[in-house]
Structure 1
Amino acid sequence: MWLMRPTNTYRNVWRIKLQDKLNSTTYFGSQGMSILIFAFPIMFISLLGCLYLHLKEISSPARAELRRSSRVLGRPALSKGPLGIVSWMQLSFFLMFIALVIWSFATYLKTGFDQLKSLQRFRTASFRMALIGTLSCAFLFFPVTRGSSILPLFGLTSDASVKYHVWLGHITLIFFFGHSAGYIIYWAINDEICEMVKWDKAGISNVAGELSMLFGLILWATTFRRVRRKILRLFMFFFLLHVGISFFYLVLPGVYLFLLDRYLRFLQSQQKVRFISARLLPNETVELNFSKSSERPAIRFRAQLQRPQLRLHLRSSVSTFQWHPFTISSNSNLEPDTLSVIIKKEGSWSQKLYQALSSPSLERLEIAVEGPYGHVSTDFLGHDCLIMVSGGSGITPFISIIRELLFMSAAQSCPVPKLRLICAFKTAADLTTLDLLFPLSGGKLDASQLDLIIDAFVTREKEPIVDPRKSIQTVWLKPLSSDVPISPILGPRSWLWLGAIISSSFILFLLLLGIVGRFYIYPIDKNTNTVYSYSSKAVLALIFMCVSIAGVASAAFLWVRRASSSSAAQIKNFDVPTPTSSPASLFYNAIESWKATHTRPSSRRPRCTMEKGRICRILLQFDNMDSGVLVSGPREMRSDVARICSSGLVNNLHFQSISFTW
């Protein structure tokens, strides 16, 4: 429908027939066609996505075989540029969207221009720019809906798609600005500048459109996240008042699903989770361990290829308002009842956290969470070898993968790929991060059956410096009995619940619209000479949407929490004293012994540099086996490895980028 919408066929044939059949109803009026054509299909696809993801979750295979087509589409097509590292799959979607924009704008300009004068053409072109801006706005919110059931259908995640939200925002504001500027120029030329202060009761509201564009320009100019979020709401609100609810249905599905996801996250964030322990490393890195729901199927993040995230908020002890996302490093097989995240001290927030945990008088921290977001991916099991390249805190996603393979090698459940971990750290103290490869609750793990080679590089010290006064410390907290274990927002069957909420809330929304439209708005339009205000219709629709989402989502959330309260009550509150001694570091304390016994390079020794050529030589060694190359770290590192994998020097390297920032 988006493809056909600019054509004369749609405007002169399809739309007329659809309006005769759908807009004549007394329940929805002129909204009927837009609801059926532009809103209903996306809501139905999101429902099907929930069912698909639920079935995929309960039938996850032990070993995932990669299809040749998915491998080709997953290869990097671009490694540098404004879009960053882009795979062929992502590039295909991006080019299809750009082609749709060009096709729509060109077709809009072509149809009907022959019968218009030059000034009328200018006005029509300005109007067409608004239609293209609406097309971009219709896709704007899908990439930032964290609990989306649509993105996973195409192998996409919200955090990896944020860059497309940014570019869609640019495209939207460019066309909307052209639309607004064009109309102002047209009014000025025709001495109709008074049109700027008109707010028609039954039509387009110019004042609301100007306010929407004003907030859009502020949104465009500012770089402050808190300001952007507030201005975005005002921009969309006045856009709704400007175009009316009938036209707003073109962008409503994305807005609806985003609001639903945001409200569910709000409900989850009101609870305090059970924070049980922390590991403090000499390099001021912290591993936080939380109690996790043990319901089946519970939270199962065995592989961090999709980088599942947890957003943390530490109450007044550290920060009142700040929320920060972190990658989950725990593994469900080794740690069935705990969930862990790793935080490196790189800012004021993490510094305050480290200082609070280092305090000897600390007994507990009040922590709220949102998430986890993401889904399990076992694609890495389809390779014969895994090459993991990380820089600094980029090693975090690989910790869960190595823990998973440790469990699989011990259980001998299926063949385990060979592992090569190439990691770069700024200082020798950062080498203690490698101790987090083994979970705190994992006991004595036998890693001898795992074919693992670690190349550790120290980039800012000529010689590794060891401070014997520093060691790993484990701090045990004393949670309250009211603290709850971390669990999915909607429980173990979250995708089914999400599908039920989407369908039920949208049906309730349509029922409220239909009832009010039939018994309140329709009698006014029919029995009086006036028309019910379009802006009032838009505000009523917005209220009904919020009421439907809040009512159904709240009821489902409370029902799920009540059902899981019995299992949460089984987790008893216990006091664990802080250990008087700290566990030894397997890697950090081995530096001095290495320096005493080795006089020539070793594959496991700390090295002083991590050059691109050296990485290239390592990757070229794997030409004879099917290898997955996972990269997590600075943008330059990811770009360099992407160019090596896409250069054609080695045909069996399959690149996967894990980015903390787009």
Structure 2
Amino acid sequence: MDENSVERPLLLSRRGADGVKKTKTPLFVTWVKRALKFVIWVVFIAWAAFIFLLPAQFVNQGFQKWIQLTSGTVFGITGSIFMVLSGPVLVIAFLSIVYLIISGEEELHERKASTKPRFRLWTFPVLVDGPFGVVSATELIGIVLFVVYVIWAVYAYTTQILSELSQFQLTLKQKSCLILEFLGLRFGSIGLYCLAFLFLPVARGSVLLRLIDIPFEHATRYHVWLGHLTMMLFTLHGLFYIIAWTIEGDLLQEILEWKDIGVANLAGVISLLAGLLMWVTSLHPVRKHKFELFFYTHQLFVIFVVFLALHVGDFIFSMAAGGIFLFILDRFLRFCQSRRTVDIISAKCLPCGTVELILSKPRNLRYNALSFVFLQVRGLSWLQWHPFSVSSSPLDGKYHLSILIKVLGEWTEKLRGNILNSSEAELHLQPQKKITASVEGPYGHELPYHLMYENLILVAGGIGISPFLAILSDILHRIRDRKPCLPRNLLIVWAVKRSNEIPLLFDINMESICPFFSDKLNLDIRIYVTRESQPPLEEGNVHEAIMNSSHSPVSVSDRCSMSVLVGTGNNIWSGLYVISSTLGFVILIYLLDIFYINPFGISSWWYKGLLFIICMLASVFIFGGLVIGLWHLWERRIAAREACEDDKMTVEKIQHNETVAHKDSCQQYLANSTSTYYGSRPEFDEIFGDISEKWGSVDVGVIVCGPPTLQSSVAKEIRSQNIRRQRHHPIFHFNSHSFDL
């Protein structure tokens, strides 16, 4: 057993792969990062506190004075409101860019194994079976704060209107209409403040998500929650006005009204109808059974946003413009990346009804073992994009990335059929049709958090084993190369329906990656076959897979690879893109005010709102597009140089059927460390109870990838274990890796 045995975590070793002591991060860099984090927190807390306290009369009066003092500037009222309510989120984005550039990959190297286990709010499941799914303590705090804000704002505004109306002699009808219209107005303003946060979680490659290390598949939950809250507020906003107009007898006239000075009601009705259609089709029953209906109607967000700007004008729309602008930045970057056609190097159909695709990628593409990509195959559909977890480690190869796809629906059936047809054409020496795809991503955690636990439990359901194959391969590669990697105890719990799925787990030739890995990693695999009561007659062949495959062995320089524009791409280029687009937006607004709005006396609210939207889009297309063009040229030059260098060497092999030394010993070890249970499901109370006694007082990272019922079962058991924990037992940390739109 060598010096990096299971008794000593690799991350605690002070020497690198070459035996040289690691150099610590310079003190100056550490202090700059801490200062940036401090400033980011100060800006965010001040911004959130201002929005929270804005319904208070003294804060509102101060805000009005600020608007009066600054309304005489070039940017006018719009600039004043934008600076206070949307500017902070852009400032945080700029600071995040600087922080990410300085950090690089240093944070992973700086992580140390904790000597004592401790609870973490963001990995402690509090709510499990409620309407929100599995909710951590941190997420529950966020939900409570939003609910408290809405209740407080409604109370403050209601008190305000009642006190003002008490000073006038009005009839009951007049009072009722005024109260309804005032509360309708305030529900709309509260909805705008929620809208300021709504688009932040769905900016897939956003620097804000990367800063706080929340991957897109987790952030979509927050978008769903905020979407329900925002649409509820906007619906009450419209409903209160409709009731008031009905009482006054002017309903049809008010709905069709489109004022130049003031709010354009018809534009608001169109925006609200688009929002309601998105809201209804995004409810879970519709989303689950009619996903395409949900997906296509959700594209109405363009109508929703544009007509919202026409409805309220530029200065009111600027309250929520910061988050929308960051989403536009991300959406345009995704569009540019997805225009590239990517070669599928190899495609395999496994007997268990799973397809493996190996995609071509450039050497400088950054991702980690918990990343995922969005895939579009234009031969199947020009509109459908599907998310899939990456099943390969970034250390598996420089120029390829693999994904596993379970054949379940119409799209995956067509994909499997294309691969089989391509294989048959190859067998009959017919012209083989090349399979290509468009790719967005990779997305995911900024840092591979699976490497930061000494003790890991991976719980998978069915095809949920895919990301865990990448994790296992990544750990083995890092152990071999002596890279930062904490895990030394690894338990894999996998529930499958049929035993023909088991070969997926053994597709990784562990001994070829890291010879004698059993000396460095304690691996325990427990497989539960739920729909078979006993092993198949051909049990000896259960770990062997016969595949239909189609592959195109082309040289590195001839492949069309994925683009590095999105995901965890180059921090400097992505930073230049965000900064140049933002500065371009400010410049365009300035030029518009100087040469058009002010000289010609443009005062129409809806028209200025439209111009505001046009400036947002133009700044991204023109200023941001210029940076993307330069970024693309740089990417092509780097890729061409790397391809020329590697084409002179032996082209890397991407097949997994090589014979390796120590194969017999590896198979024997896997047979001893693997337990297969037929006709039963995992009993998590027994599993976690056994681990508690076996591993002792340590931090245990639990990652779950599977259906919501599996996540709930694991989260419930973790909560139970942590609540009744003894001093000598571990603390379990819940992490979900399931993408559920």
Q: Of residues 279, 301, 308 in structure 2, which corresponds to 1:232?
A: 301
User: Matches of 2:458 and 2:359 in 1, distance apart?
Assistant: 27
Within 2, Cα distance between the matches of 1:493 and 1:351? Answer: 32
Please point out which of 382, 385, 388 is paired with 2:458: 388
**1:247–1:234 Cα change, 3 Å:** same
SS at match of 1:21: helix
Aligned equivalent of 1:508: 584
CA distance in 2, matches of 1:203, 1:502: 33
Do the aligned partners of 1:455 and 1:603 also contact (CA within 8 Å) in 2?
Answer: yes
Amino acid at match of 2:437: I
Task: Say whether 1:332 aligns with 2:405.
Answer: no
Contact preservation (8 Å) 2:495, 2:681: yes
How far apart are 1:622 and its partner, in Å? Answer: 4.1
Query: Could you tell me which amino acid in structure 2 is paired with residue 508 of structure 1?
Result: G
Contact 1:491 1:560 in 2 (8 A): no
Q: Provide the identity percentage.
A: 29
> CA, structure 1 residues 411+466, in 2 after alignment: closer, same or farther (shift >3 Å)?
farther
| Residue aligning to 2:707 | 634
The equivalent of 1:217 in structure 2 is 276
**Match among 205, 208, 211 for residue 150 of structure 1:** 208
Counterpart-to-counterpart distance in 1, 2:192 and 2:274: 16
2:275 maps to 1:206: no
Within 2, Cα distance between the matches of 1:270 and 1:60? 33
Partner of residue 409 from structure 2, selected from 338, 342, 347: 347
* Deviations 1:552-604 (CA, angstroms, capped at 9, x unpaired): 2322222122112234335379999x99996799xxx99x999xxx9xx9852
Q: Indicate whether 1:299 and 2:362 are aligned.
A: no
Question: How far, CA to CA, are the matches of 1:561 and 1:230 in structure 2?
Answer: 28
**1:392–1:426 CA contact under 8 A, matched in 2:** yes
1:483-562 equivalences in 2 (<5 Å)? 483-489=559-565, 494-525=570-601, 532-562=603-633
Q: Secondary structure at the match of 1:142?
A: coil
Q: Deviations over 1:591-629 (max 9, x none)?
A: x999xxx9xx98523433124354344444445142222
Structure 2 counterparts to residues 367-406 of structure 1, below 5 A: 367-406=437-476
The residue type paired with residue 708 of structure 2 is R
Structure 1: distance between partners of 2:566 and 2:242 = 49
Deviation at 1:311, TM superposition (A): 0.8
Separation in 2, partners of 1:581, 1:420: 24
| CA apart distance, 1:413 | 4.5
Preserved CA contact (<8 Å) 1:458 1:464: no
Whole-angstrom distance in 2 between the partners of 1:287 and 1:221 = 35
Q: Distance in 1 between matches of 2:71 and 2:263?
A: 19
Q: In angstroms, what is the RMSD of aligned CA positions?
A: 3.2
Deviates more, 1:245-254 or 1:461-470: 461-470
Matches of 2:668 and 2:589, distance apart in 1: 74
Contact 1:624/1:652, CA 8 A, preserved across alignment = no
SS at the partner of 2:356? strand
Counterpart residue type for residue 320 of structure 1: W
More displaced stretch, 232-241 vs 645-654: 645-654
Query: Could you tell me whether the CA contact under 8 Å between 2:215 and 2:443 is conserved in 1?
Result: no
Structure 1: any 5+ residue segments left out of the alignment?
526-530
| Secondary structure at the counterpart of residue 110 of structure 1 | helix
User: What's the counterpart of residue 70 of structure 2?
Assistant: 22
How far apart in 2 are the matches of 1:492 and 1:232?
A: 26
Q: How far is 1:51 from its partner?
A: 2.0
Which among 548, 553, 564 is matched to residue 635 of structure 2? Answer: 564
How far apart, in 2, do the equivalents of 1:374 and 1:71 lie? 21
Q: Give the structure-2-normalised TM-score.
A: 0.79
Equivalence for 2:60: 11
Counterpart residue identity of residue 424, structure 2: P
2:719 is aligned with what amino acid?
Answer: S
Which of 331, 335, 339 is matched with 1:262 structurally?
331
In structure 2, distance between residues paired with 1:406 and 1:279: 24
User: Which one is further off, 354-363 or 448-457?
Assistant: 354-363
Amino acid aligned to 1:184: I
SS at match of 1:630: strand
Residues 524 and 532 of structure 1 are in contact (CA less than 8 Å); yes or no, is this contact kept in structure 2? no
Aligned residue type for 2:606: S
Any conservation in 1 of the 2:456–2:487 contact (CA below 8 Å)? no
Q: Distance in 1 between matches of 2:658 and 2:129?
A: 43
Structure 1 CA distance, aligned partners of 2:410 and 2:510?
A: 27
Q: Report whether the alignment pairs 1:160 with 2:227.
A: no
Letter paired with 1:282: P
Report the Cα distance in structure 2 between the residues aligned to 1:541 and 1:466, rounded to whole angstroms: 69
Q: 1:24 to 1:466 in 2, by over 3 A?
A: farther
- The 8 Å contact of residues 309 and 373 in structure 1, kept in 2 or not, is answered as yes
Distance 1:285 1:490, change over 3 A: closer
Deviation at 1:319, TM superposition (A): 2.8
Q: Quick one: structure 1 residues 159 and 641, their matched pair in 2 at CA, closer, same or farther if it must change by over 3 Å?
A: same
Flag the 1:439–1:334 CA change in 2: closer, same or farther, 3 A: farther
C-alpha distance in 2 between matches for 1:581 and 1:333? 14
Change in Cα spacing, 1:314 to 1:127, as seen in structure 2 (3 Å) is same
Q: Is the 8 A contact 1:126 1:178 kept in 2?
A: yes
Q: Is 1:128 aligned to residue 186 of structure 2?
A: yes
Who is 1:195 aligned against?
A: 254
Q: Which whole-Å deviations, capped at 9, do the CAs of 1:384-430 have from their partners, x for residues lacking one?
A: 32111111011112112111211233234465421111111111110
Aligned in 2, Cα 1:331/1:623: closer, same or farther, shift over 3 Å? closer
* Counterpart Cα distance in 2 of 1:393 and 1:86: 24
Contact 2:340 2:438 in 1 (8 A): yes
Query: Which residue is equivalent to 2:376?
Result: 313
Q: Secondary structure at the match of 1:486?
A: coil
Partner secondary structure for residue 622 of structure 2: helix
Aligned CA distance change for structure 1 residues 62 and 608 (closer, same or farther; 3 Å): farther
Q: Deviations over 1:276-309 (max 9, x none)?
A: 22343221322222232223xx4141x42xxx21
Tell me the equivalent position of 2:506.
435
Please give the secondary structure, in 1, of the residue aligned with 2:86.
Answer: helix
Question: What is the match of residue 353 of structure 2?
Answer: 284
Q: Distance in 2 between matches of 1:47 and 1:580?
A: 43
- The answer for the alignment partner of 1:55 in structure 2 is 102
The structure 2 residue matched to 1:245, chosen from 287, 309, 314, is 314
Residue of structure 2 in register with 1:141 after alignment: 199
Tell me the SS of whatever aligns to 1:34.
Answer: helix
* 1:16 alignment partner AA: Q
Q: Which moved more, 1:268-277 or 1:222-231?
A: 222-231
How much has 1:507 moved relative to structure 2?
1.5
| 3-state SS of 1:250 partner | coil
* SS of equivalent residue, structure 1 residue 511: helix
1:437 is displaced (CA, Å) by 3.2
Aligned length: 638
Whether contact under 8 Å (1:384, 1:625) holds in the other structure is: no
Aligned in 2, Cα 1:397/1:582: closer, same or farther, shift over 3 Å?
Answer: closer
Q: How far apart, in 2, do the equivalents of 1:544 and 1:259 lie?
A: 12
Deviation at 1:637, TM superposition (A): 1.5
